[in-house]
DNA sequence: TGTTAGCACTCGTTCTCGTCGAGTGCTAAC
DNA sequence: GTTAGCACTCGACGAGAACGAGTGCTAACA
């Protein structure tokens, strides 16, 4: 059986209502609220049909209906109205973006905060993955009498400090040697062997113990995996939804949001284009099966890629979330273009 | 009236019991559990005295007693037994510290995680404040065809990227000029005027628009306040305490823990030595008045200072928390000494 | 044939009320 | 000074009643 126009309207009305109230929706409420000119009895018949078709669920005999996962899915695919984001919110967003971002990669973090501001749901954003470009330069700077700072520049900057005594001149000579042998290769390609050679070249003018320390530290820093950074914003907003009135559920969700490993998996999955919703059981993680995620993958011109995800109850305001992500993506794209113009 | 020995023992027994159960403690429980050789009736009399003296509170007539803030305070000051931390926990801690820390400042973050591991409460740790040392070196590196990375080394490393086109040679010449005029002064002393002079010096070999961009970015980066970083670990552990069974309370606490501004204030207050407890109403923030904080200030040899705070219910296991912080402080001190030996 | 009024029925929510029991304070005896 | 005993208090718990929102079904209507 296909959904006729009336059924669609009724389903939409039910879902819209339920999104707002989190209470099962009765036939009377729909017949009163909507201008369909239908009595509650008729609505009831239609609702029974919709339930049979799998779009609605009746929690118990004497309650109204709530949408099933399939109901939400149909809503998201076909029924949802476009949401208009207020001009002031847009202005605020633009303001936020322009004023605070000097470094493109940093912008990503703000994007997460902005998304949770706009949508009022929790957001998870993964920072761009390290794209593993070659070492451009290595610097060695004596910071204090017994501290030397190592700086390794690729597309991003790594640094580490070592507690050894080294003169400014020593630093410079060491830096020269390091650059000669390491500049141009990729961080993870640095081998112990290469460092041993450097050691041979430098031990003439640096104490061996100090040199060991420095090279150890360099090796550690250079080979340390760039952990995909994950930022979670507005996590405790989940506590404001009746869906999480049960403390145990809330706890489960919050510890999920604390588990970087799981969030990384989340960020790594489904790298398709555009904005996508995962509703209830469509999610792989057990704990998310009562929630919905809406996510958007992004790519920076530098090659970095990541994902912005909004997490909320299944009855989330999908249209608003979609519109927000869309807006953010557009605004950021504009900004990126603006940045690139300097080239 | 002063507390005699028996009253002290009873008070201690009550608090110990309450810390474990979170239930009002009755006279019978104490008379059974403790080997005081006293009947419940005697205990009752003593409890009535203790209540009159302000150390205990009776939630309602037919309930047992719970400690008042003053009761906890007395307990912490005078009654608390030393807590012995298991050898395996100590070993684990040493392991964690040694394996993961290559940079001293980073260690601080781990310390927070370790503290919450050890105590099972939420911890808040503030990273060492920027001590505003002079600029040691500035570096300009072309990372890609249209991206230049600025690196400013003080005691820590700041970096920013600018989207301009600049040759390797151009970078070097610019770096030379920058170092000549800016090395040795403190970041916040960099003025627009100084940058204007640099602009004059460099505009011969760099396009003015690019130069403007670079210098703007430099100025922003150099003058940007080093935000005191705050790390919160194990925030959702509060949900496991019956004190926060009420979702509203939990929500309030969690959003407090999300509020960096408030946490900074917390970290900035009370910079005395040693380990200190703030019990219930002793806390300034409204929201903390049903909780207790135990905090320890630390100073690194580099001059950085910060604070490690454990947050839990008033009936927290004070002795365990004190012992844990003590242990952490000792172990870190050892490590610091070890680092400094390289000098 | 589709729509609707009416009605019996279901079932979760809320409230009341009685019971239970943990714990108390007081008194009197040891 | 300590303790056994006892009446009393009061929150927790559970059963049961009242309520009401919402349903499905039937029959009447356009």
Q: How confident is the model at residue A159 (pLDDT cuts 50, 70, 90)?
A: confident
Q: Is the Cβ pair B161, A103 closer than 8 Å? A: yes
Supply the CATH number for residue B144's domain: 3.30.390
Distance separating alpha carbons of residues A10 and A35, to the nearest angstrom:
11
Does B55 share its domain with B180? no
Does A209 share its domain with A147? yes
Supply the CATH number for residue A241's domain: 3.30.450.40
Distance separating alpha carbons of residues B212 and B206, to the nearest angstrom:
10
- Residue B343 has what pLDDT? 39
Candidates B20, B39, B37, B12; CA nearest to B28 is B39
Does A103 share its domain with A37? no
Q: Would you write out chain B's pLDDT as a tens digit for each of its 343 residues?
A: 568 889 999 999 999 999 999 999 999 999 988 777 888 999 999 999 999 999 999 999 888 999 999 999 999 999 999 999 988 888 888 877 765 455 666 777 788 988 999 999 999 999 876 666 789 999 999 987 778 889 999 888 888 888 788 898 999 999 999 999 999 999 888 999 999 999 998 888 889 988 998 998 899 888 876 667 899 999 989 999 999 988 888 999 999 999 999 999 999 988 888 999 999 999 999 999 999 999 999 887 767 788 999 999 999 999 999 999 999 999 888 877 776 654 3
Tokens 């929201």 sit on residue = B287
- Residue A25 has what pLDDT? 96
- B109 part of contact set with chain A, CB < 8 Å: no
Does B118 share its domain with B159? no
- A99 part of contact set with chain B, CB < 8 Å: no
Mean pLDDT of A119-132: 84
DSSP class of residue A207 equals -
Supply the CATH number for residue B49's domain: 1.10.10.10
Give me the residue from A159, A161, A247 closest to B247, CB to CB.
A247
Domain boundary among A194, A223, A252: A223
Chain B, 297 to 316: residues with Cβ < 8 Å from chain A are 302
CB-based burial of residue B335 (10 Å sphere; 0-12 exposed, 13-18 middle, 19+ buried)?
middle
Distance separating alpha carbons of residues A138 and A144, to the nearest angstrom:
19
Name the nucleotide with the smallest C1'–CA separation from A6: C2
Count of the separate structural domains present in chain A:
3
Does A241 share its domain with A120? yes
Does B261 share its domain with B207? no
Does B108 share its domain with B233? yes
Q: Is the Cβ pair A144, B163 closer than 8 Å? A: no
Q: Which domain holds residue A316?
A: 87-129+228-340
At residue B127, the 3 state secondary structure works out as coil
Q: Which of the pair, B93 or A199, is modelled with greater confidence?
A: A199
- What pTM, to 2 d.p., does this model score? 0.85
- Residue B302 has what pLDDT? 66
Does B69 share its domain with B165? no
Does B204 share its domain with B280? no
- Residue A89 has what pLDDT? 85
* Cβ A234 vs Cβ A116: under 8 Å: yes
Does A73 share its domain with A149? no
Give me the residue from B104, B220, B340 closest to A102, CB to CB.
B220
Domain boundary among A56, A79, A102: A79
For residue A100, pLDDT over 60 is answered with no
φ/ψ of A132, rounded to 5, equals 60, 55
Which of A85-99, A289-303, B80-94, B298-312 comes out lowest in average pLDDT? Answer: A85-99
Does A158 share its domain with A103? no
Q: Is the Cβ pair A141, B145 closer than 8 Å? A: no
Domain boundary among B171, B193, B223: B223
Does A255 share its domain with A335? yes
Name the nucleotide with the smallest C1'–CA separation from A44: D23
- Residue A271 has what pLDDT? 85
Q: Is the Cβ pair B157, A153 closer than 8 Å? A: no
Distance separating alpha carbons of residues B241 and A121, to the nearest angstrom:
25
């Amino acid at each position: 059986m296909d959904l006729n126009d009336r059924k669609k309207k009724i389903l939409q009305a039910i879902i819209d209502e339920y999104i707002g109230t989190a209470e099962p929706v009765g036939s009377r409420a729909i017949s009163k609220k909507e201008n369909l000119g239908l009595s509650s009895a008729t609505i009831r018949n239609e609702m029974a049909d919709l339930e049979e078709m799998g779009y609605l669920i009746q929690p118990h005999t004497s309650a109204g209906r709530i949408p099933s996962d399939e109901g939400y899915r149909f809503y998201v695919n076909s029924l949802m109205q476009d949401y208009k984001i207020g001009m002031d919110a847009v202005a605020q967003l633009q303001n936020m973006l322009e004023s605070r971002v000097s470094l493109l990669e940093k912008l990503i973090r703000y994007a997460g905060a902005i998304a949770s501001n706009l949508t009022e749901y929790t957001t998870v954003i993964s920072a761009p993955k390290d794209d593993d470009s070659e070492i451009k330069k290595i610097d060695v700077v004596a910071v204090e009498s017994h501290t030397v700072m190592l700086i390794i520049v690729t597309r991003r900057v790594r640094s580490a400090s070592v507690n050894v005594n080294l003169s400014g001149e020593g630093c410079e000579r060491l830096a020269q040697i390091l650059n000669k042998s390491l500049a141009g290769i990729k961080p993870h390609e640095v081998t112990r062997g290469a460092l041993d050679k450097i050691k041979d070249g430098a031990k003439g003018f640096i104490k061996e113990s100090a040199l060991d320390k420095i090279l150890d530290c360099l090796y550690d820093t250079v080979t340390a995996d760039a952990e995909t950074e994950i930022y979670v914003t507005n996590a405790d907003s989940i506590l404001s939804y009746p869906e999480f009135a049960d403390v145990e559920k809330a706890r489960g969700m919050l510890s999920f949001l604390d588990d970087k490993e799981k969030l990384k998996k989340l960020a790594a999955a489904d790298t398709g284009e555009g904005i996508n919703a995962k509703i209830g059981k469509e999610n792989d993680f057990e704990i998310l099966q009562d929630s919905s995620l809406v996510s958007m993958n992004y790519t920076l011109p530098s090659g970095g890629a990541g994902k912005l995800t909004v997490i909320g109850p299944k009855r989330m305001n999908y249209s608003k979330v979609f519109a927000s992500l869309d807006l953010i993506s557009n605004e950021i794209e504009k900004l990126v273009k603006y940045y690139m113009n300097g080239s």
